[in-house]
Structure 1
């Protein structure tokens, strides 16, 4: 996968890069990589794009981009406007994500615990997994009073800037943690983001000791989150559960006193369930 990142000349975002494992070139299909790279480009830019924009963001030349776009359109993963000459993801593109959620036993098995945490806290509760340097929201129960819809199933956020990300990172083997931190940008998403690696690592040590993490407006202004790790087979961290609240009604001390204990207990119960699934 290409390592470029950031915005191009036309304001399009390059797709996130991931560490590629050792490749057996005899089996590896570069054409599939190109197709998925184009789909990743649409994930990084959730809006219609022209051929030129897709080419710029993906790093593919225009000829290769045109062939990939044509193929994905023929397979009904993309739609194309003859008026604007822009391409968009089709409804069919949702099938892959939905299939993942249906095939992941942790989503169904832990949902009752999300409901219980929501009942106890009356706030939004999420389940997240780590993917590369990001966390991805795979299940959630929103608060009835939630006013913002910026987080949906499938939303990605940098792990270093979030409570669930830190809950997972703090419980990874040191080699895995170092590899992820090496590839993390440590960009200041808000004025409150901890963007210094040394400071983050000191915070992760505290997370390990306390069993939960708290992030105060580091990934999104007005949002405080507390999270605890969920452990699976062989006691490996597989996910994190978090409760997210508004700074209009909560402060960090109140979150730690009232919501962190709920999060830790729910994560403990979830871990009992998740440990039954070896694939996790």
Structure 2
């Protein structure tokens, strides 16, 4: 298994790390890991890259990176410019993500509820799931008031920097929540707010008591967001409904008074759907 993924560093961003403590090395295929590390390098650096840049971003040796790039290009997950020799993700790279969305019963079944929440709030409404220390948008209805393109389906944000991430952590098994807080990069929190782990854990307790979270300008300096948990099988938290508003039109107090009830009611309706949905 790969130990380091940041050789050469430079301006390249390293792929996400993962918890390998439970891996059975008898069954684990390192060659597949190398392929996924290269694909993750393109996620972390969303632009065409040369072999040298992919090597720096992935932490692989140059020869290993070259073999992986050749294979992914042959399988049509990557393209390569004949002029610049740079590699880029192809449209086929979207297939896995699209297959996930089609196979996730929450996405299609709950979209009408998100649409109604957006109509009521006149703001952007999204559905997020937790993945390690991040939340990922799996559905989204943008506001009609303004064009907001920086967050789309598939966008990944630090969980502790978002209302949806915090509300999921608040309803998560306490040991799992503690582990996520301990392993999160707290430097990702921008703007005003605490970054002390013990203070964050205390904040999660308050969020669970209220039933919703409000976060102002932490994942992005232009947002105030509120979120409520979607509870599924055995009342385990499976997702969160989030409403994102602009500080130009909203204050934290107004979001809490007017938008949080919409998020809570929408999450309650989605929970009825999610009760029949159990992840393997």
Please name the residue that 1:16 is paired with.
16
For 1:10-89, list aligned pairs within 5 A.
10-89=10-89
Q: Which moves more between the two structures, 83-92 or 66-75?
A: 83-92
Query: Structure 1 residue 171: deviation in Å?
Result: 0.6
Query: Structure 1 residue 25: deviation in Å?
Result: 2.2
Structure 1 position 218 matched with structure 2 position 221: no
SS at match of 1:170: helix
Deviations, residues 180-213 of structure 1 (Å, cap 9, x unaligned)? 1121010144222532212211211110000000
Please name the residue that 1:143 is paired with.
143
For 1:191-230, list aligned pairs within 5 A.
191-230=191-230
> Is this contact kept in 1: 2:6–2:57, CA < 8 A?
no
Structure 1 position 250 matched with structure 2 position 250: yes
Please name the residue that 1:123 is paired with.
123
Aligned length: 280
Distance 1:119 1:279, change over 3 A: same
SS at match of 2:171: coil
Distance 1:4 1:137, change over 3 A: farther
TM-score normalized by structure 2? 0.96
> Is this contact kept in 2: 1:161–1:193, CA < 8 A?
no
Distance 1:193 1:218, change over 3 A: farther
CA distance in 2, matches of 1:74, 1:126: 36
CA distance in 2, matches of 1:7, 1:134: 24
Please name the residue that 1:271 is paired with.
271
TM-score normalized by structure 1? 0.96
Distance 1:19 1:9, change over 3 A: closer
CA distance in 1, matches of 2:123, 2:4: 38
CA distance in 1, matches of 2:68, 2:5: 21
SS at match of 2:46: coil
Distance 1:188 1:30, change over 3 A: closer
> Is this contact kept in 2: 1:10–1:53, CA < 8 A?
no
Deviations, residues 118-149 of structure 1 (Å, cap 9, x unaligned)? 11111110000000100000000011012331
Please name the residue that 2:187 is paired with.
187
Distance 1:48 1:169, change over 3 A: same
For 1:109-120, list aligned pairs within 5 A.
109-120=109-120
Please name the residue that 2:233 is paired with.
233
> Is this contact kept in 1: 2:164–2:240, CA < 8 A?
yes
Structure 2: gaps of 5 or more residues: none
